[in-house]
Chains A and B, each alone.
Chain A
Amino acid sequence: MKLVMIIDKRRCYGCNGCTVACKQANATPPGTFYTKTLTQEKGKFPNSKVEYMPLICNHCDNAPCVEVCPTGASKKLKDGTVQVTASECVGCQLCMEACPYDARYFNSEDVPTYWGSKGQDAYEKLRSKEHVSGTVDKCTFCASRRERNLPPACVETCPAIARFFGDLDDPKSEVSKLFKQYKPKPYLPEEGTKPSVFYIE
Chain B
Amino acid sequence: MTSRQRNTGIIAFLAAFIIFILPFVFTFFMAVKSRQEAALFLFTWPSEWHFWSNLVEVVQARNYMLLLAYFNSTIITVGAVALLVIFGAMVGYVLQRRPSGWNKLIYAGVLMGLMVPPAVVPTIWVLQGLGLFKTIHGMILIQVAYGLAFSVLLYRSFIATIPRDLDEAAIIDGAKPWAIFFKVILPLLKPVTVTLILVQSIAIFNDFTNPLYYLPGRENVTVQLTLFNFQSQFQSQFNLLFMNILLVTIPPLIVFVIFNRQIVAGMTAGAVKG
B partners with A: no
Which B residues contact A (CB, under 8 angstroms)? none
The residues of A with any CB-CB pair to B shorter than 8 Å are: none
